[in-house]
């Protein structure tokens, strides 16, 4: 059986193809242009979101890790927690515990000459070690000026002040 | 600004600068002075001693009203008048406790002061009872593992009299049973800023303290501690703690140094065996009192509260209960004797007050001890029966107020009594936090 295709059928098919192609070509050009804006963000202090106070045991564990780079045993942690509990002024209790740790022979603290050789690096490292963040420029500058101005300020005293700071009590 | 105005303003600023440090948190310019309503400069309050039955204490019935054995007598002869038992002695020292501890005081506290032989407790539990003694309220909604809800006598004193932190002490015999929570409340108008210093000497200066606290490095106050604090304060200022109140009692740097020096001294004395323990110091309560004596001598506190609780062994051991009660009396006798003979700044200027936080049951439980004697819990009406006593300047001597059939006084009256001695009674009443019908024991004599 022979088939004949008329001219009008061919014309109709060609027109349909042209319309489809035109639609495919024009579709992308219908999209809206992207608009880029700046999302408003609150300006936070350098230590945001530290709103959970450490327990006595958490404080002792982290302090020991920061000063000795080793962990306390569960038993030692429990006992240290009891010692803190037995003193009403918790800040005083922490001072006494830090003073005890500082008297241990294996406490790891940079020497004063190392600290003074590159105060900025020391301040950065101390912030990262104790407060788990970098100092702001203002903080770094304050500490640099303070350490440079007072020859009595040792790395040990700087560590002591960080371990006793309010921010160190929170995570 | 002309010259006259400048001079006027400069004068006002200078005046304010001079006066401001002396204005108390209450707004008062001056603290209550000794010349006003104050009856004595110091108060020692003994929380006595873990649930005490009237029958074995003020009623002096020994075994007669508990074990069905006809042996009566007074085993608290430092505090109370009365002859000790003559038979079945089990509360002393030595094997079987057959050697009673000799009296410390030549004259009993009852002779020296006023006894309220029949008072009422408001709670049959320890923590509720301790809270009622320290808050002056029923503490009916007080949780067990929770700071006091209402202000304590420590906070009243520090806030309304402006007493420094190192002059207000709570000495606990344990860190269990929520005892360390009692040194300040969570009340928004008072709280930690007005709290008492606290030690649990059996921990602080015991084996644990020796291991973790005794070896503290001593820093130079000016050369080392001053810059350390300055750096700390800088860090604190940088830290925004988002509204959290940090638990700080408000000890000044000088007070902290003083407390640390005291701790150092205690570790030395403990090591040398020279703590001012009572003649017999074979229990935690007695050793606690030894350290309390040292604390009195060192700080001369305005208010010292000492908690004793070994008597609570009565839940399972009546023999041990008698021994503990005898020792609690020994502890109080030693404390009073020490104040009068070893602390000249406090002798003759201290009022001592003692009261149990709750009593104990009328009926025993099923537990029997080695002597086949029944033990007693604390939950019934008899547990609300307690006594109270006080001695010192302006306290009438040899006076008994009330009787077994005529109860006078409640444990909630203790706060106002202490407040009256220390000259802040009206401030405490005006604060509106104590039990409405509370009144000072002085007003009930």
- For chain B, which residues make up each domain, given as ranges? 40-219+258-444
Comparing alpha-carbon positions, the chain B residue that sits nearest to A60 is B212
Measured distance CA(B428)–CA(B415) in Å, rounded? 9
Residue A123: give the domain boundaries: 56-169
Chain A closest-CA separation from residue B176 CA (Å):
10
Q: At B58, list the tokens.
A: 């003020």
Q: Does B261 touch chain A (CB under 8 A)?
A: no
Model confidence over B242-269: pLDDT tens digits? 555 576 898 998 999 999 999 999 999 9
Q: Which of B212, B218, B249 sits opposite A88 (nearest CB)?
A: B249
CB contact at 8 A, B378 and B358 = yes
Output the DSSP codes for B124-136.
SSHHHHHHHHHHS
DSSP bridge pairs for B266: none
- A100 neighbourhood in chain B, CB within 8 Å: 212-217
C-alpha distances in Å from residue B420, one per residue of B118, B188, B395, B416, B443: 21, 24, 12, 6, 10
Interface of B with A in 381-440 (CB under 8 A): none
Q: Give the count of beta carbons closer than 10 Å to the beta carbon of residue B359.
A: 27
* B385-391/B350-355 β-pairing: antiparallel
Contacts of A165 in chain B (CB under 8 A): 232, 235-236, 239
Can you tell me the distance from the alpha carbon of B431 to that of B442, in angstroms, rounded to the nearest whole number?
20
Closest of B47, B50, B95, B56 to residue B74, by C-alpha: B56
Residue B155's pLDDT is 98
Cα separation, B255 vs B210, in Å, equals 22
Do the chains contact at B239 and A167, CB–CB below 8 Å?
yes
Interchain pair A51, B165: CB under 8 A: no
pLDDT, mean over chain B? 91
B319: closest CA among B383, B280, B371, B377?
Answer: B371
pLDDT at residue B354, as a whole number: 98
Contact check, Cβ <8 Å, A99/B216: yes
Complex confidence, ipTM: 0.88
CA distance B75 to B53: 13
> Which whole number is the average pLDDT over B75-102?
96
Determine, yes or no, domain membership for A91. Answer: yes
Residue B31 has pLDDT above 50, yes or no: no
Q: Looking at chain B, how many residues does it have?
A: 445
| Cβ atoms of B327 and B101 closer than 8 Å | yes
When divided into structural domains, chain A yields a total of: 1
Mean pLDDT rounded to a whole number for chain A: 88
When the candidates are 1.10.3720.10, 3.30.70.260, 3.40.50.300, 3.40.720.10, the CATH number that belongs to B40-219+258-444 is 3.40.720.10
| pLDDT tens for each residue of B128-151 | 999 999 999 998 888 898 999 999
Residue B170: what are its φ and ψ, rounded to 5°? -120, 120
| Position A51 in a domain | no
Half-sphere exposure of A171 (CA within 13 A, CB side): 8
Give yes or no for residue B158 having a pLDDT over 70.
yes
Model confidence pLDDT, tens digit, residues A129-148 = 999 999 999 999 999 999 99
A90 contacts on B by Cβ (under 8 Å)? 247-248
**Cα end-to-end span (Å), chain A:** 87
> For A53-104, how does the pLDDT look when each residue is reduced to its tens digit (9 = 90+)?
899 999 999 999 999 999 999 999 999 999 999 999 999 999 999 999 999 9
Which residue, among A111, A97, A64, A145, has the nearest Cα to B231 in the 3D structure?
Answer: A145
B428 vs A25: which has the higher pLDDT: B428
Positive/negative CA dihedral, B270, B272, B278, B284: positive
Whether residues B232 and A150 touch (CB distance < 8 A) is answered with no
Under the banding of pLDDT at 50, 70 and 90, the label for residue B20 is very low
Whole-number Å distance between alpha carbons of B92 and B51: 20
Reading the block at residue B402, the tokens are: 């009330």
| Cβ separation B249–A95 shorter than 8 A | no
pLDDT band at A42 (very low <50, low <70, confident <90, very high): confident
Judged by DSSP in three states, B368 sits in strand
* CATH number of the domain enclosing A64: 1.10.3130
Q: In chain A, which residue's Cα lies nearest the Cα of B166?
A: A89
Confidence of residue A41 (pLDDT cuts 50, 70, 90): confident
Select from A131, A120, A121, A117 the least CA-distant residue to A159.
A131
- DSSP per residue, A12-48: HHHHHHHHHHHHHHHSGGGSPPP---PPP-----SST
Residue A16 clears pLDDT 70, i.e. is over it: yes
pLDDT confidence band for B28 (50 / 70 / 90): very low
Q: Hey, CA dihedral for B202, B154, B359, B295, is it positive or negative?
A: positive
Q: Is the pLDDT assigned to residue A157 strictly greater than 90?
A: yes
Q: Nearest chain B residue to A169 by CA: give it.
A: B246
Q: For residue A112, tell me if it sits in a domain.
A: yes
The predicted structure's pLDDT at residue A24: 66
Indicate the range of B26-30, B117-121, B280-284 predicted with least confidence: B26-30
Q: Residue B27 has what pLDDT?
A: 42
Q: Which residues contact A146 (CB under 8 A, 6 or more apart)?
A: A153, B227, B230, B231, B234
The closest alpha carbon to B318, from B125, B127, B69, belongs to B69
The answer to whether the beta carbons of residues B445 and B399 sit under 8 Å apart is yes
| Token output for A162 | 């960080």
* For range B414-440, the mean pLDDT: 96
Cβ pair B356, B54 in contact under 8 A: no
A69 touches chain B (CB under 8 A): no
Across the interface, do A166 and B247 touch by the CB < 8 Å criterion? no
> What mean pLDDT do residues B66-72 have?
95
Q: With 80 as the cut, is the pLDDT of residue A28 above it?
A: no
- Report the half-sphere exposure of B445 (CA within 13 A, side-chain side): 17
Q: What residues of A are in contact with residue B251 (Cβ under 8 Å)?
A: 89, 91-92
Nearest residue, CB atoms, A89 vs list B197, B200, B240: B197
Is A39 inside a domain boundary?
no
Let me know if residue A28 belongs to a domain. no
In B, residues 144-203, which contact A (CB 8 Å cutoff)? 165, 170, 172, 175, 180, 183, 195-200, 203
Is A33 domain-assigned? no
pLDDT higher than 90, residue B380: yes
CB neighbours of residue B213 within 10 Å: 26
DSSP letter for each residue of B55-124:
TTTTT-BTTTTTSS----B-S-TTTS-SPPPSSS--SSBSGGG-BPPPPS-SS-HHHHEEEEEEEE-S-S
Pairing of strands B42-47, B350-355: parallel
Nearest residue to B305 via CA among B192, B169, B204, B211: B169
Of B424, B223, B199, residue with least CA distance to B298: B199
């Amino acid at each position: 059986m022979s088939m004949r295709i008329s001219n009008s059928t061919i014309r109709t098919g060609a027109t349909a193809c042209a319309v489809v192609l035109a639609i495919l070509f024009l579709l992308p050009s219908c999209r809206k242009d992207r608009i880029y804006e700046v999302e408003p963000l609150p300006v936070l202090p350098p230590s945001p979101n530290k709103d959970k106070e450490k327990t006595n045991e958490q404080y002792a564990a982290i302090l020991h890790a920061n000063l000795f780079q080793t962990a306390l045993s569960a038993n030692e942690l429990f006992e240290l927690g009891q010692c803190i509990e037995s003193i009403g002024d918790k800040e005083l209790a922490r001072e006494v515990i830090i003073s005890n740790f500082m008297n241990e022979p294996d406490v790891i603290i940079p020497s004063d000459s190392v600290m003074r050789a590159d105060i900025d690096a020391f301040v950065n490292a101390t912030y990262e070690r104790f407060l788990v963040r970098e100092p702001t420029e203002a903080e770094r500058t304050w500490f640099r000026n303070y350490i440079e101005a007072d020859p009595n300020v040792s790395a040990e005293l700087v560590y002591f002040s960080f371990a006793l700071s309010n921010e160190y009590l929170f995570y | 600004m002309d010259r006259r105005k400048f001079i006027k303003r400069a004068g006002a600023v200078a005046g304010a600068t001079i006066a401001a440090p002396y204005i108390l948190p209450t707004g008062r310019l001056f603290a209550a002075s000794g010349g006003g309503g104050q009856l004595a400069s110091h108060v020692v309050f003994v929380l006595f001693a873990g649930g005490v039955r009237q029958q074995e204490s003020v009623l002096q019935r020994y075994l007669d009203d508990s074990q069905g054995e006809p042996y009566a007598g007074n085993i608290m002869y430092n505090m109370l008048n009365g002859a000790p038992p003559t038979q079945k002695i089990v509360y002393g020292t030595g094997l079987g406790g057959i050697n009673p501890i000799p009296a410390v005081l030549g004259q009993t506290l009852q002779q020296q002061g006023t006894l309220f032989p029949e008072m009422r407790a408001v709670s049959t539990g320890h923590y509720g009872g301790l809270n009622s003694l320290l808050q002056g309220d029923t503490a009916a909604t007080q949780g067990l593992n929770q700071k006091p809800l209402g202000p304590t006598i420590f906070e009243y004193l520090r806030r309304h009299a402006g007493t420094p932190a190192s002059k207000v002490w709570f000495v606990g015999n344990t860190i269990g049973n929520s005892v360390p929570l009692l040194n300040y409340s969570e009340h928004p108008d008072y709280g930690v800023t007005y709290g008492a210093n606290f030690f649990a000497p059996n921990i602080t200066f015991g084996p644990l303290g020796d291991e973790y606290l005794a070896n503290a490095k001593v820093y130079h106050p000016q050369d080392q501690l001053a810059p350390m604090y300055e750096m700390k304060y800088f860090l604190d200022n940088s830290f925004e703690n988002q509204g959290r109140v940090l638990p700080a009692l408000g000890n000044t740097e000088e007070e902290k140094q003083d407390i640390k020096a005291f701790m150092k001294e205690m570790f030395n004395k403990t090591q040398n065996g020279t703590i001012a323990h009572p003649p017999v110091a074979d229990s935690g309560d007695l050793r606690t009192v030894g350290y309390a004596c040292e604390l009195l001598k060192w700080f001369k506190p305005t208010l010292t509260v000492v908690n004793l609780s070994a008597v609570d062994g009565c839940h399972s051991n009546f023999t041990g209960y008698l021994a503990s009660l005898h020792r609690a009396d020994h502890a109080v006798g030693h404390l009073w004797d020490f104040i009068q003979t070893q602390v000249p700044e406090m002798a003759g200027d201290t009022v001592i007050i003692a009261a149990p936080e709750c009593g104990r049951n009328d009926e025993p439980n099923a537990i029997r001890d080695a002597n086949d004697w029944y033990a007693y819990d604390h939950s019934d009406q008899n547990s609300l029966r307690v006594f109270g006593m006080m001695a010192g300047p302006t306290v009438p001597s040899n006076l008994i107020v009330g009787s077994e059939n005529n109860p006078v006084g409640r444990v909630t009256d203790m706060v106002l009594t202490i407040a009256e001695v220390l000259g802040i009674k009206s401030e405490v009443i005006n604060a509106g936090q104590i039990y409405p019908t509370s009144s000072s024991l002085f007003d009930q004599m």
